[in-house]
Amino acid sequence: MPLQKLANLFTGSRFWVCVLAVVLVASLVPLLAIAQYSHPSADDYPYALATHAAWQETGSVWAVLRAAAHTVAQRYQTWQGSFSAIFLFALQPAIFGEGLYGLGTVFLLGAAMAAVAAAVAALHRVTGVPLSTCAVLGLLYALVCIQFLPSPAQGYYWWNGASYYWLFFFGLLALCALLARLMGPGLSGAGTAGAALLAAVLGGGNYITALQMCEALVCAVLVCALWRRTVLKRMLAVALCGFAAFAVNVAAPGNAVRAATTATQGQGAVWAVVQSFPMSVHYARVFTTPMVLAALLFAVPFLLRAVHAAKTNFRYPYPLLALAGLYCFYASSFTPTLFVYGTNDEKRVKDIQFCLWVLVCLAALWYVLGWAWHRFGAAHGRRLHRFALPYLAVVVLFGALAFVPQVRAYQWSGTACVSAVYYLRSGVAQAYDEAMYERLDMLATEEEDIVFPMLPPEPWICFHEDLARETYNWKNEAFAEYYGKHTVAVAAPE
């Protein structure tokens, strides 16, 4: 009997909520610790020229916000239409002080976890699955996205890239949670207004998230038209806000200007859609590492528990059609970059594609397990409960064995917290930070043309890229204007 109680404890959702919460918090500590050594780079400077100058001249937050709005209007005409993203670009934290740049990481990680929490709450409210079971899935998803991201530097350290992709991706997750609640138990008028506002913001972001938002809104409208006509008008209002914002984004004159200067371009919409499928298959293989596979296998008992506990009459029909729809949704994340650039090379884009792939895998597992549960009978499913403890033990052991080589790896290991610990303990992060502040000391002199020494080895987990050796490089020109200098460059290696 005591052994049975112990087994029930170790297979219980509440136990694993505590374990995963502790692991998540502990793994965040080195990530937040190294954030203090991150610094602006590349696009952080040109988008923040006006806001940085406004803060230096006035010290007024309102003046900074006006400057950000002016940047949006100017860039909309001359470079790109993603108006809500540009507003965020202009507010990169270092405009208020170099040492505050790391707060951007705190905000980005906090926003992601808030979106996951909203999704967990919506899942509980809509399906009736116990909150503890939903929380296990949410904590596991947050842990995988944060720790196994292809590029943490561009994912949640570099403000410009992260606020454009990571933040908007999790904004879409939060919107989907609101849409689910609107279609399910209901959403207040304020909640519906919040969903409409969020849809408008997402429509003014990156094209991948904006496109997938439109796909999600179309599906939500169709569901309401067929089964939830009482909330159809409210869903249409949310959808129209999202569609209108995306239309404003696409219609920007600056998009044509930017396209004319792009070195690589796609070969049309049809080509981009067709190429999205083989490319998505390739990256699905890349993203499904042993650690990710271990996480997905770990989720299976809790997904089965969710299927069993769900208080709905949904029977999970047409599983192949559902899986095809989920995969098409994932594949569509490759279409915009293929259409515009003909490639999918940006690491920050791969970051959100990775997060989307993990989410799609969890949703697909849930659907298939739900179909099997109803197809083969709940009695067979209940018998599986006796195997839950040994199954979880084997999966945890598999995950641990997959994790060991990463701990022993050099520098970037594939696990963010391990890499952060390495760069902190080795002193690489501190040396890089000291070199960056030495550059700021050089900028404080009256010299107008400055040549910086090369940086020491950089902490790649939170470092994006350095200035160029040529003064005419766009990064150098923006950096020089940001700090009020004539030219800047980096010295060639001796």
With 90 as the cut, is the pLDDT of residue 327 above it?
yes
**What's the pLDDT band for 377 if we cut at 50, 70, 90?**
low
Does 346 or 207 have the greater pLDDT score? 207
Give just the sign of the alpha carbon dihedral 108, 113, 114, 120.
positive
Q: Report the predicted TM-score, pTM, of the whole model to 2 decimal places.
A: 0.92
CA–CA dist 427, 134 (Å, integer)? 40
pLDDT at residue 401, rounded to an integer: 63
| pLDDT exceeds 60 at position 147 | yes
**pLDDT tens digit sequence for 192-208:** 999 999 999 999 999 99
Residue with tokens 């192949």: 320
Choice between 90 and 16, residue whose per-residue pLDDT is larger: 90
- 266 forms bridges with which residues in the sheet? none
Task: Tell me the pLDDT of the chain averaged across its residues.
Answer: 87
Nearest to 80 by CA among 201, 340, 259: 259
Tokens of 334: 């490759």
Least confident of 98-102, 144-148, 272-276, 376-380: 376-380
Banded pLDDT at 14 (limits 50, 70, 90): confident
β-bridge mates for residue 451, sequence order: 489
Asked if 333 contacts 302 with a C-beta cutoff of 8 angstroms, the reply is: no
**Largest alpha-carbon pair distance within the chain?**
80
CB contact at 8 A, 64 and 54? yes
Q: Say whether 311 sits in a helix, a strand or coil.
A: coil
What is the rounded average pLDDT of the residues 124-135?
Answer: 91
Q: What percent of the chain has pLDDT over 90?
A: 57
Locus of tokens 């279409």: 335
Q: How buried is residue 235: exposed, middle or buried, by Cβ count under 10 Å (0-12/13-18/19+)? A: buried
Q: Which residues contact 123 (CB under 8 A, 6 or more apart)?
A: 129, 134, 137, 138, 177, 180
Helices and strands counted in the chain (H then E) = 24, 2
For 377-385, what is the mean pLDDT?
58
Rounded average pLDDT over 312-329:
89
Judging by DSSP bridges, how do beta strands 487-490 and 449-452 pair with one another? Answer: parallel
Tell me what the mean pLDDT of segment 334-347 comes to: 84
How many Å apart are CA 315 and CA 66, to the nearest integer?
53
Averaged pLDDT, 106-129: 94
User: In the predicted model, is pLDDT for residue 87 greater than 80?
Assistant: yes
Query: What is the mean pLDDT of the segment spanning 283-302?
Result: 88
pLDDT(6) > 50: no
Q: Look up tokens 């987990």; give the residue.
A: 461
Mean pLDDT for the stretch of residues 478-484: 92
Tokens of 173: 């997750």
290 pLDDT tier (thresholds 50, 70, 90): confident
Confidence category of residue 118, pLDDT binned at 50, 70, 90: very high
| pLDDT reported for residue 72 | 95
Average pLDDT of the residues in 268-290 = 90
Averaged over 40-65, what is the pLDDT? 93
pLDDT of residue 1: 43
